[in-house]
A and B are shown apart, each in its own frame.
Chain A
Amino acid sequence: MNENLKPIRIHMCDDDPDDQLLVSDALEEARLGNDIDFTNNGKELLQYLNREGQFSHLVDQPLPGLILLDLNMPVMDGREVLSKIKQHEKFRSIPIIVLTTSKAEADIARTYDMGVNSFIMKPVSFDSLVDMVKSVTDYWFHLVSLPQK
């Protein structure tokens, strides 16, 4: 039980460094105390989760409690990595929120089909981003009962 007292680590996979800055600043602004780390595309995200390559030093660290995922990325995009994660026995239980600017309806439906837990449009203003980050963490960490690993 005590384990849960520590704010859960959030991972963000997004190729835009400005968006990475925005989300980590918003977390700080919201005084949530969650640690956040980043990868730049789906391939890196898989390496990160598997603790391979440049992430091998994280081998003893617990997996993130939540993944914020961008859809349009180079090398391996969000959809591809999403289907890989959701088929993976160990990673499939990590909640994934797609955070994107893409509004296409088909996109939304398709990603829910692939097992995404939530689909959120990136807010434009910093204030609403702070509010969003607050709601997301409130929702996932205070209201939802997550399976014990």
Chain B
Amino acid sequence: MKMGKYSKFKVLIVEDDEDDYILLEELLIEAVGEIGTITWAEDFKSARVKITNEHFDFYFLDNRLGAELGLDLIVEIKQQYETAPPIVMLSGVDDYQTDLEAMEKGADDYLIKSELTAHLLERTFRYSLKSKDLEAKLAKLAHYDGLTGLYNRSLFNELLVKSIQQSERTGQKFALVTLDLDNFKFVNDNYGHPAGDQLLTKISRRLKHSTRSSDIVARLGGDEFSLLLKDVKNDSDFVKLVESIMGIFQEPIQVDSKSVSVTTSAGIAIFPTDAQTASELIDNSDRAMYQAKALGRDNYSFYNQKLHQEAIVKHQLELELNAAIDNNQLLLHYQPIIHLKTGNITSYEALLRWPDKNNGFRNTEEFIEVAEESSLILKIGDWVFKQACLQLKIWSEQGITDRHISINASANQFNSDDFTQQVEKYLKETPDLAKQLTIELTERKPLVISPTTVNRLLLLSGIGFKFSVDDFGIGHSSISYLRAFPMDSIKIDKSIIQNILISEEDLALCTAIIALGKALSLDVIAEGVETEEIANLLSSLSCPYAQGYLYSKPMPL
């Protein structure tokens, strides 16, 4: 009977004496047979790390751990679980006080090392597990909905309060979604209650699988479900999540071998935007749900209508943008960068354009902002890079090999290895192209300067890329970019350049940045140069490069 019963079991033994550990391990295997894994922690600190990072099915804690007490680990274990697995304390001496304290803290048994036998261990193991099983069953009854296996109202309310506290700490928004089935009564009346129950059970599974593991799904009673959606980057993510929840009702559900279609109405309220307390949030989410029902069922509604509209517009824009990238509808326009002394074009900045239906262009800033908030910016980044490479190849076929292109990169592209890997792969056959490319980093969405991001930049600079700080002078991190990473050029923001004739401060700033560039051997480019007067002044300040409408607006090549 011993065979295989605990073959998936994970046991943690916290014991500072290696001999005692080995003895216990041997006894344990003798007592209960093969155990999946037995992990040994030899001191308080490493035990703590293991307890917080791993799950175990059974804990043995020696009480004397150098200066620390195993007793104090009990609390740490309990914190990890709703119902903690069995914890058995071990002690060298039979100390009634410690025994009591261990029980008080929640240990399941207290064993004296010198009295350990396989027989005793086997019994402790069995009894602790059995009582845990009962404890877990009781906790389950109190916290879970037996029909669907989802959280019930009481646990949901607890989790809601916890989520509010967490959100207040982290500043992260979350949404409370209230769902009410539109035609559940019809199913109950026409197919009977067991069919209705079957329907609820199946819907619950669909809900569970259409949400992420960080989301909380509960059945509050009847045909009413509530969800907490956390870990979102922005409001349009809520739309996405709610759309996927609504989507699970598209497919009919089989009850008693009959196919039944049900729809739902959903109301969404967001903390802390729409409410300051748990009950206010519940009320507002309910209100939104009734609003959705009034809209004609199979609908969802945000409590905050303005946010609703904005989120939907953004979501729509995201879908369109994604399609535009896939259908190759984006374009690059190129604006030349001029060497002020000679008037020669030294390179081009590639700027993204998205044509609209009326022969104009969509607002670049607007769609880039949406792209930055989703992962689309990564897709765009890859596309821009490849497009620029294609242009360089065209030039090279025409015999032009001394032209450079600058492309704008988002900080997000350096948060993972994806972009750098793409680039390395793409340039494998034409590595020389890298030398003709400059990556402009803006500080509007600042780059997180960490060793790993710096390494990614270094990798690219190692294969020949140059780096430039865009919009220099208006953000907060310009100087820290220069310190963190060897840049090649800086571009003075156009809001400074356009003021140098009328503002002494901006003129002084411009002069200082040019001097800074010289001191650090960086190329300096003045952006937004629109008049001869400004160009002349920049020349007299020995600014080496300029870019702007005076020379050319961004154009297709």
Residues of A within 8 A of B (CB): 1, 4-7, 16, 18-19, 21-22, 25, 29, 33, 72, 101-102, 124-127, 130, 142
Q: Please state if B8 and A125 are interface contacts (CB–CB under 8 Å).
A: no
Inter-chain CA distance A16–B253, complex, in Å, is: 9
Name the contact of B7 in the complex, choosing from A5, A18, A21, A101 (C-beta under 8 A). A5
The residue on B at minimum CB distance from A126 is B149
Tell me how far the C-beta of A27 lies from the nearest C-beta in chain B, rounded to whole angstroms: 12
Q: Contact between A124 and B147 (Cβ–Cβ < 8 Å)?
A: yes
Q: Which 5 A-B pairs have the closest CB atoms?
A: A126-B149, A18-B202, A21-B205, A127-B146, A5-B7
Judge whether B17 is part of the interface by a CB distance below 8 angstroms: no
A127 to chain B: which residues have CB within 8 Å?
144, 146-147, 149
**In the complex, are the beta carbons of B201 and A7 less than 8 A apart?**
no
Chain B interface category by residue count: 20 to 34
Residue of B3, B197, B254, B256 touching A4 (CB-CB under 8 A): B3
B198 touches A124 (CB 8 A): yes
The answer on a CB contact under 8 Å between A125 and B147 is yes
Docked-complex contact B197 and A126, CB < 8 angstroms: no
B149-A101 in contact (CB<8A): no
- Interface residue B99 (Cβ < 8 Å from any Cβ of A): no
User: What is the bound-complex CA distance between A29 and B149, given in angstroms?
Assistant: 9
Report if B148 contacts A (CB, 8 A): yes
CA–CA, A101 to B258, complex, Å? 11
B-chain residues with CB within 8 Å of residue A25 when the two chains form the complex: 149, 205, 208
CA distance A16 to B202 in the complex (A): 10
Q: How far is the CA of A7 from the CA of B8 in the complex (A)?
A: 9
Q: Beyond the given A18-B205, A101-B256, could you list 18 further A-B residue pairs with CB under 8 A, ordered by the A residue number?
A: A1-B3, A4-B3, A5-B4, A5-B7, A18-B202, A21-B205, A22-B205, A25-B208, A33-B8, A124-B198, A125-B147, A125-B197, A126-B147, A126-B148, A126-B149, A126-B204, A127-B147, A127-B149
**Residue pair B257, A72 in contact (C-beta under 8 Å):** yes
B254 touches A18 (CB 8 A): yes
- The CA of A18 and the CA of B257, in the complex, are separated in Å by 12
B194 close to A (CB within 8 Å): yes
B45 at the interface (CB under 8 A from A): no
- Which chain A positions have C-beta within 8 A of B204? 126
Closest CB in chain A relative to B396 CB, distance in Å = 45
Interface string of B195-228 (1 = CB under 8 A from A): 0011001101110110000000000000000000
13 examples of A-B residue contacts, CB within 8 angstroms: A5-B4, A18-B202, A18-B253, A18-B254, A19-B202, A21-B202, A22-B202, A33-B8, A102-B257, A125-B146, A126-B201, A130-B149, A142-B5
Q: List, in ascending order, chain B residues with CB within 8 A of A102's CB.
A: 257
Residue of A nearest to B150 (CB): A126
Known: A5-B7, A18-B205. A124 touches B149 (CB 8 A): no
B210 to chain A, nearest CB (A): 11
Contact residues of B between 96 and 149, Cβ < 8 Å to A: 144, 146-149
Q: Mark B302-341, 1 if CB is under 8 A from A, else 0.
A: 0000000000000000000000000000000000000000
- Give chain A residues whose Cβ lies under 8 Å from the Cβ of B257: 72, 101-102
In the complex, what's the smallest C-beta–C-beta distance from A143 to chain B, in angstroms? 10
**Residues of chain B from 140 to 172 with CB closer than 8 A to chain A in the complex:** 144, 146-149
Q: A101-B257, A124-B201 are in contact. Are A21 and B209 (CB under 8 A)?
A: yes
Instruction: Please name all residues of chain B whose beta carbon is closer than 8 Å to the beta carbon of A22 when the two chains form the complex.
Output: 201-202, 205
**Docked-complex contact B208 and A125, CB < 8 angstroms:** no
Which residues on the A side are within 8 Å of B147 (C-beta)? 124-127
B205: nearest residue on chain A (CB-CB)? A21
Per-residue 0/1 for B1-42: is the Cβ within 8 Å of any A Cβ (1 yes, 0 no)? 101110110000000000000000000000000100000000
Q: Are A124 and B205 in contact (CB under 8 A)?
A: no
How distant is the Cα of A101 from the Cα of B192 in the complex, in angstroms? 14
Q: Which B residue sits closest to A4, measured CB to CB? A: B4
What is the chain B residue whose CB lies nearest that of A6? Answer: B7
Nearest CB in chain A: distance from B201 CB, A:
6
A126–B200 Cα gap in the complex (Å)? 10
Q: Which residues of A contact B4 (CB under 8 A)?
A: 4-5
Most B-side CB within 10 Å, residue of A4, A22, A72? A22
Say yes or no: B206 contacts A18, CB within 8 Å: yes
What chain B residues lie within 8 Å of A130 (beta carbons)?
A: 149
Residues of chain B within 8 A (CB-CB) of A101 are 256-257
A126 pairs with B7, CB closer than 8 A:
no
| B201 contacts across to A, CB distance below 8 A | 22, 124-126
CB-based contact B3/A5 at 8 Å: yes
B476 to chain A, nearest CB (A): 48
What are the residues of chain B within 8 A of A5 when measuring CB–CB?
Answer: 3-4, 7, 34
Q: Which residues of B contact A125 (CB under 8 A)?
A: 146-148, 197, 201
Q: Which residue of A4, A72, A126 has the most chain B CB atoms within 10 A of its CB atom?
A: A126
Max chain B Cβ within 10 angstroms of own Cβ: one of A19, A25, A29, A125: A125
Could you say which residues of chain B place their CB within 8 Å of the CB of A1?
A: 3
Q: Shortest distance in angstroms between B132's beta carbon and chain A's nearest beta carbon? A: 12
Q: Which residues of A contact B1 (CB under 8 A)?
A: 142
Output the least CB separation between B270 and chain A (Å). Answer: 29
Which of A6, A18, A101 has the largest number of chain B CB atoms within 10 A?
A18
Complex: how many Å from CA A126 to CA B145?
9
Query: In the assembled complex, how far is the CB of residue B465 from the closest CB belonging to chain A, in whole angstroms?
Result: 42
CB of B217, distance to nearest CB on chain A (Å):
12
Residues of A within 8 A of B3 (CB): 1, 4-5
Please, how many angstroms separate the alpha-carbon atoms of A72 and B256 in the complex? Answer: 11
CB < 8 Å neighbour of B197 from A16, A72, A124: A124
Residue of B nearest to A16 (CB): B254
Q: How far is the CA of A130 from the CA of B140 in the complex (A)?
A: 13
CB distance from B484 to the nearest CB of A (A): 46
